[in-house]
Amino acid sequence: MIRVATLTDLEEIVKIENENYDTPWSYESFLNELYSDKSTIYVYELEGEIAGYVVLYILIDEIDIANISVKKEYQGCKIGSRLMEFVLNKYIGYMFYLEVREDNMKAISLYEKFGFKSYSMRKDYYGRGINAILMKLNNLGVNYA
């Protein structure tokens, strides 16, 4: 089940964040996004536990996928794909943007599967010479299920 995150979800979200990223978002960062009127956090709940999440920044007719992550034990179970399907089907007509580490081939493959195209690069964005690939998708209403 995919639903809007609540305050009680944040500890589990932060655990997933910490197991997947070298420079994870803090609890306070997620708390700010939870209560911001410009962002939404959706969680993928599986048998009562949070298996993944996605953070969106929503600006009029544009959406920035700011963060998406899946608990390590559920990676490879299509939870990332289901979160993307949910978001793209919910926000038809929006222009989507995201940035991804150039060395994160799993994520790049996922985004390309949904039609995202790279359009630019931010040099050394992640430090240590790791660039960010900027990707976008004009979500015109294709059914992603």
Tell me: the pLDDT tens digits for 121-130?
A: 999 998 889 9
CATH of the domain at 63: 3.40.630.30
Which pLDDT value is given to residue 145? 57
Q: Is residue 54 assigned to a domain?
A: yes
Spatial separation of the C-alpha atoms in residues 87 and 56, rounded to whole Å? 9
C-beta separation of 2 from 50 below 8 A: no
Read off φ and ψ for residue 131, nearest 5 degrees: -90, 160
Which pLDDT value is given to residue 39? 97
Q: How many domains does the chain have?
A: 1
Q: Is residue 82 assigned to a domain?
A: yes
Q: Is residue 145 assigned to a domain?
A: no
Residue 83 structural domain: 2-138
Q: Is residue 142's pLDDT more than 80? A: no
Q: Is residue 37 assigned to a domain?
A: yes
Which pLDDT value is given to residue 122? 95
Q: Is residue 143's pLDDT more than 70? A: no
Specify the amino acid at residue 42: Y
Which pLDDT value is given to residue 140? 79
Q: Could you read off the pLDDT of 92-128 as tens digits, one per residue?
A: 999 999 999 999 999 999 999 999 999 999 999 988 8
Q: Is residue 144 assigned to a domain?
A: no
Q: Could you read off the pLDDT of 16-37 as tens digits, one per residue?
A: 999 998 889 999 999 999 999 9
List the one residue out of 93, 139, 138, 102 whose CA is nearest residue 120. Answer: 102
Q: Is residue 53 assigned to a domain?
A: yes
Q: Is residue 86 assigned to a domain?
A: yes
Q: Is residue 143 assigned to a domain?
A: no
Q: Which helix (H) or strand (E) holds 112?
A: helix 105-113
Confidence of residue 62 (pLDDT cuts 50, 70, 90): very high
pTM: 0.92
